Chains A and B, each alone.
Chain A
Amino acid sequence: MSWAFWRRARRNDELEEEIRAHLTLAEREAVESGGTPTDARSAARREFGNVNLVEEATRDSWGGRWLSDLLQDLRIGARMLRRNPGFSLLAVLCLTLGIGANAAVFSWIEGVLLRPYPLVTHQDRMAAIVGTVRGADRDEMSWLDFQDLEKRSTLAESFIAEKITGATLSIGDRAETAIGSVVSANYFSALGLHLALGRGFEPRENVGRNAHPVAVISYQFWQERFHGDPAIIGKTQMLNRVPHTIVGVAPEGFYGTFVGYSWQFWVPMSMQETFDYAGSYKLEDRGARWIEGFVMAKPGVNRAQLQQELSAIAARMETEYPDTNRGRGVQLFPLWETPFNGAGLLGPTLGVALCVVVFVLLIACANVGNLLLVRAFSRRHEMTVRLALGAGRGRLFRQVLTEGLILSALAAGGGLVVAWWCRNLLPRLIPPRSAPLRLVGELDWRVFVITALVCVFSTLLFALVPALRSGKADITGALRAESSGVVGGGRKAWFRSGLVVVQVSLSFLLLVGAGLVLQSLHRLRSASPGFSTDRVVATAFRFSAMGYDAARAKNFEDDLLARVQALPGVESASYSRTVPFSLLGFSSAAVAVDGYQAPRDQQPAAEYSEVSPGYFQTMGIPLVSGRDFLRSDDENAPPVAIVNEVMVERYWRGADPVGRRLQVSGKWLQVVGVAKLSKYRSFMEPPQAFFYVPLRQNFGMLASLEVRTAAPPQTLSPLLGREIRALDQNMPVYEAISLREVVNRSMAAPQVAVMLLTVFGSLALTLAAIGLYAVMSCAVSQGTRELGLRMALGARASDLLRLVVSQGLALTAGGVLLGAAAAFGLTRLLGYLLYLVSPRDPFAFAASSAVMAVVALGATILPAWRATRIDPVRALQS
């Protein structure tokens, strides 16, 4: 561009020289034919005509005119903006907030949902794969099924199996926990990653029970734990009490394939048993479902085609392995809907955030549009003069648009800086958890392009109308005295009032949204999940990771329980595999009941938990019938179960099932009790069929200890740690947190939504208040003459005050009505976040109206007060 620019500058000089020569020759001739030099010069000039116009017309014939026009427009625009720094600053600030909020949310969506795995090539071809159960929910997949799918699929390039896992990491005599993943051997090559050091896994490392204790560690882990030791390859690291040879270091900037956490290590598939939570070996069991995976489609294959092929394969496997696969299928999800990591959790919330920031942008644009219109009024003179001097109306139009573009380009720059700052903001909106969250916004070229588009789009929004008006400047009209009144006003005032109404309605909408989610969060905080939360503390053990066998684990549990029950303030204590609302989740099993006929091709299933005697007492879950598990319900006793009320309704039609039989995964259990319904995974879930079995009859190597205490829960944590260490110095002590905390941690999505809606809602409110203030101030200053006249005719200050304030409130009322109508239709979108709150909750609507009214009053009172200070004499003279 600069080359074209310089060439053009040279041609300009040449043109001037050419015309000078013309004038000189003409002048010389006039002198020769007997004129005085002065006369000759003016005659030559007269003959020639307007030098500037001729130059201009000639330049037009060069082509490429738009470029020089653009440069000129930019120059003029920049000059105009410098001349009104207050206006420019306010406009750029408004737009920076609007565009910045958008850029930040785009970068989150890009970094968390669309391309969550840095360095992984072809994320657009990657899909998450999960198993499905007919008539129930989704499930994990078995390794054998996964391998069969991989073998038979022709449309997939690769299948990546993995399972997130925690590991105990022994360094010297200290035990720490690390987070990592068991992966299929093709993991690094299928993702297109080049390791920083060493190698990825080899196909043979998929096979053999615990046969290949090798690990790849993350770059960060290598730096922090091994200080970037260049000779790290070949060294060993204890993971879950097994020495693993480090064979590779993952590339810098790769954090694994789990939205929310960054991984520290990877181990190959053959090591599954070592890293299983419950310590069971699952690689050769088609019924053991534990894998979460991804599929990389071949280039040009879309998800629907791949889904079709995989469903067909799964259907064939149903008939080949009816015992394990009846009613089982597979389902592909785009990465942003991945159900087994943070993407599925945050997806809808980021969608809501996107709507919210678009609203903020619209409000900001309305504000800037308003400012531009006010300024267009004061620039009427300039525009008229330019028109009179022959500027084309199209040119003026372009000039105003260019000025708008400068504003929003500046704001887009600022907005990207804002987005850069907000890159790491997401984890801070979420309640803290044991491992640090990694949810980072990504500012790549796609985000830049979208931000540029937003910039152009918003320019069109806020500058189009002022630009269209600029060409309509009325040359003769400008010479006449033009005054507009406070009441009525012209078309322009009408349009600007319309903008304010839109602003008010949009911010009202956001206020209602914020009100709804706030109320919902409040209800969630005080809601009862059906078990005690405040006085129960829980902590976890992973016996398999410590190399315990079942007998040793049982001994440890018995010893610890005795010690804990002796602690001051402890009322009761118990074990279970896991606690409700935890990320770990419950197991699910196929169930059958005498006399209950399930719909064909459906497999009735329910989730269950393995619990010790005293669990119901500790958790505060009432038994409505029958008895609790006893110590005698052990390995040698007949298997028993306690079912919940939903199961009673569904399978026994409400009749008391105590004494009846329940079949679980083909094994018959005796029902000994009925527990009250509670919440198991989240508050939002519908009533779930659920049952309990004794821990001793279904022992696992993973356990959670629950303690009901009369003392404050915080005081219990150090005591628990002391007792655990007294039994086994090496047993890692996980934090002991109250169940209230466990429940709160599960509320990430509503929490993020509340934060975003509150922050952006107040931002929107501020912007709308500024808009209202600007319109009212402008109406007062432009209506000075009318107000003065009213005053001269005897209006009192209070009358004028009322006049202006009522104008402002009328605009606000219009906006609130419009916003309420929109909110009525739109708040349904928040439904998934709302707990016991109707999307049309009258309280949220009323409170938002009240807030809006107060803000509007605040924004109009100053202009109104100024109206009362008008000096009628001066106003009428002007």
Chain B
Amino acid sequence: MLPRKQRYQDRIQILQGTLDMLILQTLQWAPRHGYALSKAIRANSGEIIRVDTGSLYPALHRLERKGWIAAEWKASEQGPRLRVYRLTKAGRRQLIPQRSRWQRLTAAIAGILNPANARSET
């Protein structure tokens, strides 16, 4: 039995990992700034996933610190300067294990939610 605090942190890590993967996945096709990124995630998920800005920006800065994405300021037409993030080589390398981990996780969850299916698959 883990102490309560540690279990709580595990939960956070899974959620963080998920958001990180979504960001990396979305940046795979083109560099984007924060607002465009949140719109893209929402659109690509069929308006289901709305990324909270309170999670998005910390995640972006954290990934930047890890060196998985890089940021640079770009001027926009008739608008404010924008901070545009792009995937780095290290980030691209991360994408594959992140995806496979996610797939294992979804399979596992699906197995829990639908035990019959899971058994028939194996």
Interface residues of A (CB under 8 A from B): 14-15, 17-22, 24-26, 28, 48-50, 53-54, 57-58, 60-63
Contacts and interface: CB of A to CB of B under 8 A. Distances in A.
Contacts of B59: 61
A506 B83 CA distance: 64
A49 B52 contact: yes
Interface in B32-83: 33-36, 52-55, 57-59, 61-62, 65, 76, 79-83
Nearest to B36: A25
Given A22-B34, A61-B61, A61-B65, A17 B54 contact: no
Contact of B65 (A21, A57, A62): A62
Nearest to A19: B57
A48 B83 contact: no
Given A14-B83, A28-B79, A21 B35 contact: yes
A64 to B, nearest CB: 11
Given A18-B83, A21-B35, A24-B80, 6 more contacts: A19-B57, A21-B33, A21-B80, A49-B52, A54-B54, A62-B61
15 contacts: A17-B81, A18-B34, A19-B53, A21-B34, A21-B35, A21-B76, A21-B81, A22-B35, A49-B52, A49-B54, A53-B54, A54-B53, A57-B54, A57-B57, A60-B58
Nearest to B55: A57
B53 A17 contact: no
Contacts of A54: 53-54, 57-58
A14 B72 CA distance: 11
B35 A50 contact: no
Contacts of A22: 33-35, 53
A24 B53 contact: no
Nearest to A48: B53
B81 A63 contact: no
B102 to A, nearest CB: 22
B80 A17 contact: yes
B50 to A, nearest CB: 9
B63 to A, nearest CB: 9
Given A61-B62, A62-B61, A25 B79 contact: yes
A58 B58 contact: yes
B41 to A, nearest CB: 14
B31 to A, nearest CB: 14
Contact of A50 (B54, B62, B83): B54
B58 A20 contact: no
Contacts of A61: 58-59, 61-62, 65
Contacts of B80: 17, 20-21, 24-25
B51 to A, nearest CB: 11
Nearest to B54: A54
A61 B81 CA distance: 23
A560 B82 CA distance: 106
Contact of B79 (A24, A49, A53, A58): A24
Contacts, number: 60
A806 B36 CA distance: 74
A62 B61 CA distance: 7
A20 B83 CA distance: 11
- Which of B52, B57, B59 has most A Cβ within 10 Å? B57
Given A61-B58, A63-B65, A21 B53 contact: no
A54 B79 CA distance: 22
Nearest 10 pairs between A and B by C-beta? A61-B62, A21-B80, A61-B58, A58-B57, A22-B35, A18-B83, A25-B35, A61-B61, A57-B58, A54-B54
A388 B62 CA distance: 28
Nearest to B82: A21
B16 to A, nearest CB: 10
Contacts of A19: 53, 57
A60 B61 CA distance: 10
Contacts of B33: 18, 21-22, 25
Contacts of B58: 54, 57-58, 60-61
A50 B54 CA distance: 8
A565 B35 CA distance: 113
A53 B59 CA distance: 14
- Which of A18, A25, A61 has most B Cβ within 10 Å? A18
A208 to B, nearest CB: 78
A58 B34 CA distance: 13
A49 B81 contact: no
A12 to B, nearest CB: 12
A13 to B, nearest CB: 12
Contacts of B81: 17, 21
A26 B79 CA distance: 12
B12 to A, nearest CB: 12
A14 B71 CA distance: 12
Contacts of A20: 80
Contacts of A26: 35
A54 B60 CA distance: 12
Contacts of A15: 57
A14 B82 CA distance: 10
Nearest to A25: B35
A381 to B, nearest CB: 29
Nearest to B61: A61
A19 B55 CA distance: 13
A14 B33 CA distance: 13
Contact of B83 (A21, A53, A57, A60): A21
Nearest to A57: B58
A5 to B, nearest CB: 19
A28 B35 CA distance: 12
A15 B71 CA distance: 12
Contacts of B53: 19, 22, 48-49, 54
Nearest to A17: B81
Contacts of B65: 61-63
Contacts of B62: 61
A319 B80 CA distance: 98
Nearest to B60: A58
A26 B34 CA distance: 11
A14 B65 CA distance: 15
A18 B76 CA distance: 13
Contacts of A48: 53
A27 to B, nearest CB: 10
A28 B65 CA distance: 30
A240 B82 CA distance: 91
B15 to A, nearest CB: 14
A205 B72 CA distance: 79
A22 B36 CA distance: 9
B107 to A, nearest CB: 30
A15 B81 CA distance: 12
A607 to B, nearest CB: 73
A62 B62 CA distance: 7
A61 B57 CA distance: 9
A15 B83 CA distance: 9
A49 B56 CA distance: 12
Contacts of A60: 58
Interface in B68-119: 76, 79-83
Contacts of A63: 65
Contacts of A57: 54-55, 57-58
A842 to B, nearest CB: 57
A58 B58 CA distance: 4
A621 B34 CA distance: 103
A17 B54 CA distance: 16
B43 to A, nearest CB: 13
A872 B58 CA distance: 58
A60 B58 CA distance: 8
A23 B33 CA distance: 12
